[in-house]
Amino acid sequence: MTTYIIVDDEPIAHRIIEGYCKSLPHLQLLEHCYDALQAIEFLNSNAVDLIFLDLNMPKLKGFEFLRTLSNPPKVIVTTAYKEFALEGYELDVSDYLLKPFSFERFVKAVNKATSTTTISPAPTPATKLEASESIFFKGDKKYFQVFINDILFVEAYGNYSKVHTTNEMIITHEKISKLEETLDKYDFLRIHKSFLISKPKIRSIEGNLIFIGGHKVPIGQTYRSVVKKLLH
């Protein structure tokens, strides 16, 4: 669970951000702060993972507030002023959202802020994948957070995809080709036009089948050379 606070002097901004966050089940709101001083008081006695921060506030501006924090949490700036973007990145903010921002752009910012892999090298056989690494899949009217280590394989489903995990199956509004691009750095392998598998989750290979997590996944004719490289 990722805890967050909203620091903004506009009530409508609080409603929009909170509404977006309610569609992301791993986010938990801790406090509405309507100026930076209120936020400082809250942070003095509470641990927070993420701050949604406005810049143009009374008493203390957003970046002035950020400079007062000795060990700030992740920060997503939400503002109508694009001219301060460079200063924000110098302060190591996770993302900079210009109002009004869409839900899709908001989710991208949250992914960036909560991901542990934004500056890490891509996993390789010699690199252990952290258990906390995760991505969001867009489902029907909501987004699902799925941990990379839990994904067994992805199955094409028309213009959608089925994400098979160790515990469930999720239908996402993403084509398998798009998911292949997203999961490539996590050691996933396309072995059929309709299947993308997690290489570390392979239990065995027999003939034209790969056994993975109790499932049998077929190897496509044009992908056999890719699988053969695993065996040599």
Q: How far is CA 32 from CA 86, 120, 194, in A?
A: 26, 32, 45
- pLDDT value for 88: 58
C-alpha Rg value of the chain to the nearest Å: 21
Q: Are 99 and 79 in contact (CB under 8 A)?
A: yes
Q: How far is CA 45 from CA 39, 50, 60, 67, 116, in A?
A: 10, 15, 20, 18, 25
- pLDDT value for 116: 44
- Mean pLDDT of each 10-residue bin along the chain, 232 residues long: 94 95 92 95 93 91 89 91 64 87 92 60 42 77 85 93 92 91 90 94 90 92 85 68
- pLDDT value for 85: 59
- pLDDT value for 118: 35
Q: Are 96 and 75 in contact (CB under 8 A)?
A: no
- pLDDT value for 119: 32
Dihedral of alpha carbons 161, 165, 170, 173, sign: negative
Give me the residues paired with residue 136 across strands: 145
- pLDDT value for 230: 75
- pLDDT value for 207: 86
Instruction: Determine how β-strand 134-138 pairs with β-strand 151-157.
Output: unpaired
- pLDDT value for 90: 67
- pLDDT value for 112: 86
- Pick the closest to residue 15 from 95, 75, 76, 100 (CA basis): 100
Structural domains in the chain plus CATH codes = 2-114 (3.40.50.2300), 146-231 (2.40.50.1020)
Q: How far is CA 106 from CA 10, 50, 74, 91, in A?
A: 18, 13, 15, 20
Instruction: Determine how β-strand 188-192 pairs with β-strand 195-198.
Output: antiparallel
